[in-house]
Amino acid sequence: MRLRDRPASPLPPGPPLPLLAQTPLLWLHRHRFLPAMRRRYGDVFTLHIAPVGTAVYLADPLLVKQVFQGSTAIYHAGEGNQILGAILGRRSVLLLDEEEHLGERRRMLPAFHGERVARTVELMAGLTRAEVARWPRHEPFALHERMRVLTLAIIVRVVFGVTDPARATALAAALTDVTDIKPWHMPAFASERVAAAAPWRVLRRRRAVADRLIAQEVEHHLAAGGLEERDDVLSMLLLSADGDATAARDQLMTLLLAGHETTASGLAWTFERLLRHPAQLARVQAGLGDDRDPYRDAVVKESLRVRPVIHDVARRLTEPVQVGKWPLPEGTVVLPSIGLLHADDRLHPDAAAFRPERWLEGGESSPYAWIPFGGGTRRCLGATFATTEMATVLRTVLQEVTLHAPDPADEPQRMSHITIVPTRGTLVEAA
C-alpha cells in the first residue's frame, strides 16, 4: 500500500540510544543485539545506525512477504546495499535497481542454471579431495580457514575458469588478500570518498589488485578464444556482454566476495553443528553412498537456518510506504531479518535445536520463514550453486576423513565484517 499526502507518523519503537551507541552494537554484536531488540520491542523495531541512517527491522513473515513482493521501483535493494559499493563496484548486480538490475540479472542467470551447476559437482568434489589431502592428521586445526581456501579454489576454477594449476594457485593467493575484510573496514564501504581516507586506503589498494587480476583473466580468456566452448562463468559473462571486460569486472568481484566468505562460513557452521550432534552426523555418514541423499540437503538447509551467515537483507524506500500498520517515510531502510525469522519458535518449533529432520517432515512450509538467500526478484543468483557446493563438500570431506571436535562445547558466534562465524573457527581433528 502506498501513502500519499498523509501526515507523518511515529516510526516503530526502538532503543533511545544515540546513533553512535547503536552503530557499534549492530556491527560488532548483531547476532546478540537484534534478538535483544526483538524481545524488547517486538517483531518490528527501529534502529539508527551509520552509515544507513533510519533502519526498520522486520521479523514477521507477512511483512517480509510484502517487501519481497513489493514494487522494485519502491523497494530499492541496490540502494539498500550501497554500503558495499566502494569494494564491489557501482555496476555490481547487488547495487543496481529496476531495469538496470533486471538486465544484469538476466545476463548472469544462465551461468547459475541448475543443470549447469550440476555439471560442476565432480569438479567441486575433486578440489575438495585435493584440499583434504593437505590437512594435518590427529592435531587440531581451524576448519573455517581451510573452507575459505577450498571455496576460493572452487571460485577460481568454476567462476574464473582457470585450469592451469600454477596460475590458479597464484590467483587464489592474490585474491585471498582482496577478500580479507575486517570489521573496522566497514565505514570505508560507505563511499569512495571515505574509502580514500588514510585508515581505509588498504581497501582501495585491494580493489586495485582485484581490478588488475580480473583484467588479466579477461585478457587471457579473450586471447585464448573459444568462449562459446567454455563452461566457466567468466566466459559466459564475456559472451553476453560481447567481450566487454568492464561489464564483467564488477560482477566477478560480486561473485567473489558474496560467494566466497558466505559459503566458507556456512560450511564451517555445518561441520560445527554436525560434530556436536552424533545422531545427525551418523545419519549423514550412512547416506554417503547415495549421491542424492535428501538428508544431506536437509542438513545444509538446517545449518543455514540455525546458524545464518548473513543476518538481514536491505531495501531502501523510494517513497512513503505502509508496511503493516507502520507508515514509513521515504529513505527508510527496511531490513527483513534472516536471523530473527530463523530463530522464531512460532515458525520453527524448538528453533534453537539442530534438527535437519524437520525439513523432511513437511512441517516447514512458509517461504518467508527461511530466507538465507533473500527473496523475490532479488533472491541470490548463486543460491543453487551455494547449496550444491555445501552438500558436495560435506559429502566428500566425510568420505575422505573422520572429523572430531576436541572441545565438545558449542562454538560461540562472532561478527567478521558482515558475516557471522564460529569464534574458534570450527576447531577439529582429522583422522
CB-based burial label for 242 (10 Å; 0-12, 13-18, 19+): exposed
* Per-residue cell: 263: 559459503
SS3 344: coil
Between the CA of residue 97 and those of 70, 249, 318, 411, what are the distances in Å? 13, 18, 11, 38
Amino acid at 407: D
Which of the residues in the chain have pLDDT under 50?
1-8
CB-based burial label for 106 (10 Å; 0-12, 13-18, 19+): exposed
DSSP state of 2: B
Tell me the domains of the chain and their CATH numbers: 19-430 (1.10.630.10)
DSSP state of 382: T
Buried b (16+ CB within 10 A) or exposed e, 345-367: eebbeebeebbbebbeeeebeee
Between the CA of residue 9 and those of 320, 326, 327, 328, what are the distances in Å? 11, 8, 6, 8
pLDDT tens digits, 142-194: 999 999 999 999 999 888 888 888 888 888 887 776 666 655 555 555 555 55
R_g of the chain computed on alpha carbons: 21
Q: Could you tell me whether strands 413-416 and 419-422 are parallel, antiparallel, or unpaired per DSSP bridges?
A: antiparallel
CB-based burial label for 147 (10 Å; 0-12, 13-18, 19+): buried
Residue pointed to by grid coordinates 507477512 = 62
DSSP state of 312: B
How far apart CA 46 and CA 15 sit, in angstroms, is 8
Single pTM value for the model: 0.90
* 288: Cβ contacts below 8 Å, ≥ 6 apart: 395, 398, 399
Q: What are phi and psi of 18, to 5 degrees?
A: -70, 160
How far apart CA 147 and CA 151 sit, in angstroms, is 6
* 218: Cβ contacts below 8 Å, ≥ 6 apart: 234, 238, 245, 248, 249
Angle at Cα 11 formed by Cα 328 and Cα 20, nearest 5°? 110
Q: In 10 A of CB 3, how many CB atoms?
A: 16
pLDDT score recorded for residue 162: 86
How far apart CA 252 and CA 258 sit, in angstroms, is 10
pLDDT score recorded for residue 4: 47
Buried b (16+ CB within 10 A) or exposed e, 56-74: bbbbbbebbbbbbebebeb
How far apart CA 307 and CA 271 sit, in angstroms, is 11
Positive or negative, the Cα torsion across 194, 96, 34, 46?
positive
* Per-residue cell: 53: 541512517
How far apart CA 161 and CA 213 sit, in angstroms, is 13
Q: Could you tell me whether strands 321-323 and 326-328 are parallel, antiparallel, or unpaired per DSSP bridges?
A: antiparallel
Q: What are phi and psi of 221, to 5 degrees?
A: -65, -45
How far apart CA 56 and CA 334 sit, in angstroms, is 5
